[in-house]
Structure 1
């Protein structure tokens, strides 16, 4: 998995590419932890390039959401591929997070 990082004003966009599973989730978790500990309050996770997410990946997203909620921040999940969307749906995570069809819609929501 590769991870692209982009800043638009005070919004952090993180774009994981490939598969987010038990072998790649520690890298994303470390990156998110560093950014949130540094004061990031507005986060968009752009999943347009993510083809697969496992329970380990869901855990990382959940941890980021909890940290942001505790600090009154916002997180939006954007551009979920069908398979990734199905995993979020089956796990009940779609009720926990704001979800946008596109990155631009996600930026508008955060």
Structure 2
């Protein structure tokens, strides 16, 4: 299960993710990103409560990065050691801005 909390302020959007981002929940996040990024110049994913991310979740983050490359910036914040390891092994640490 994945909970997505949205916080929009002017041209910034923060998506706080709680739970698991996997094959079942990735389409939900993908839809939220597509529906809410028009006019957004700064997209932030707060992953402080994200427990797990699968390749499907990584694909959504990559697609989000491609959208934001055209209109602004994207940052992934507050990842756990386990998720950082997944990002490192897959090379996503080099693609995404992680803070």
Q: CA deviation at 1:16?
A: 1.1
What residue is the counterpart of 1:32 in the other structure?
Answer: 33
Distance in 2 (CA, whole Å) between partners of 1:33 and 1:9 is 17
What residue is the counterpart of 2:44 in the other structure?
Answer: 44
TM-score, normalised to structure 2's length? Answer: 0.93
Q: CA deviation at 1:83?
A: 0.9
Distance in 2 (CA, whole Å) between partners of 1:45 and 1:4 is 10
Distance in 2 (CA, whole Å) between partners of 1:70 and 1:4 is 24
Distance in 2 (CA, whole Å) between partners of 1:39 and 1:58 is 23
Distance in 1 (CA, whole Å) between partners of 2:60 and 2:8 is 20
Distance in 1 (CA, whole Å) between partners of 2:26 and 2:69 is 21
Q: 2:11·2:39 contact (CA, 8 Å) conserved in 1?
A: no
Q: CA deviation at 1:35?
A: 1.4
**Greater share of residues in strand:** 2
Q: CA deviation at 1:98?
A: 1.2
Which runs of structure 2 are paired with 1:94-105 in the superposition (5 Å)? 94-100=93-99
What's the Cα RMSD here?
1.0
Distance in 2 (CA, whole Å) between partners of 1:24 and 1:98 is 22
Q: Which runs of 4+ in 1 moved over 6 A?
A: none
Which runs of structure 2 are paired with 1:14-33 in the superposition (5 Å)? 14-33=15-34
Q: 2:26·2:56 contact (CA, 8 Å) conserved in 1?
A: yes
Unmatched 5+ stretches in structure 2: none
TM-score, normalised to structure 1's length? Answer: 0.84
